Amino acid sequence: KQEVTQIPAALSVPEGENLVLNCSFTDSAIYNLQWFRQDPGKGLTSLLLIQSSQREQTSGRLNASLDKSSGRSTLYIAASQPGDSATYLCALPAGGTSYGKLTFGQGTILTVHP
Amino acid sequence: DAEITQSPRHKITETGRQVTLACHQTWNHNNMFWYRQDLGHGLRLIHYSYGVQDTNKGEVSDGYSVSRSNTEDLPLTLESAASSQTSVYFCASSPGRGTGNEQFFGPGTRLTVL
């Protein structure tokens, strides 16, 4: 059974810092990994989908990397802003598929203070 | 724009009542999912469907049912609501088999069972 762990559980940084969120998984036979953002009381917003054939995926100030062999993904946020404050979740399709139900990590709660 | 909607957004009901939560997507996606989110448990899969007339149980399916009569809708029914089913419910969809299956989430339904 795939297990997904996110470290740290919470992170507080001053505005402008570059930061890294970590996601590790136990089964490296994956096709892709997805990063989400969730604001308090809101739904999940997809940030990036990174395929197993890719090593990196970028969207604006966000950069996600994936290392299947070591069972790790990182989400890099450049020049953080207070508007980046949210919970960040990583998730992987279960059962060795590319399209199936997702297994989620517990999330990293990010606070960026002015 | 294509989207995924859920209704109602908030619901209060009594123990023992039958409740149906609606999920509608306009992307013409084959895959649809229902998750619940609880403090301390994260996001857990309830039921999912890979196409019309296809339904499957997730890890916390007891007391819930779904049916898929068309591509756009996957209603979730609580047969006899229990206090343990107080939660936030999220519906999601993704295109189907193959790579690049980014999953998109609805805004959620907050259900309280008294």
Question: Nearest 5°: phi and psi at A15?
Answer: -55, 140
Residue A71 scores a pLDDT above 70? yes
Instruction: Give the dihedral sign, CA B44/B46/B50/B52.
Output: negative
Cα B2 to Cα A84: distance, rounded to the nearest angstrom: 25
- Is B49 an 8 Å CB contact of chain A? no
Going by DSSP bridges, is the β-strand pair B10-13/B109-113 parallel, antiparallel, or unpaired? parallel
The three-state secondary structure class of A100 is: coil
Instruction: Give the pLDDT band of residue A101 (cuts 50, 70, 90).
Output: confident
In chain B, which residue's Cα lies nearest the Cα of A108? Answer: B42
Give B-chain residues touching A51 at CB under 8 angstroms: 99-100
Q: What is the mean pLDDT of chain A?
A: 92
Please write the tens of the pLDDT for every residue from B45-71: 999 999 999 999 999 999 999 999 999
Q: Name the stretches of chain B with pLDDT < 50.
A: none
| Chain A: closest CA distance from residue B17 (Å) | 25
**Tokens (6 digits) for B55:** 């339904």
Q: What is the pLDDT of residue B101?
A: 80
The three-state secondary structure class of B42 is: strand
**Tokens (6 digits) for A67:** 């290392």
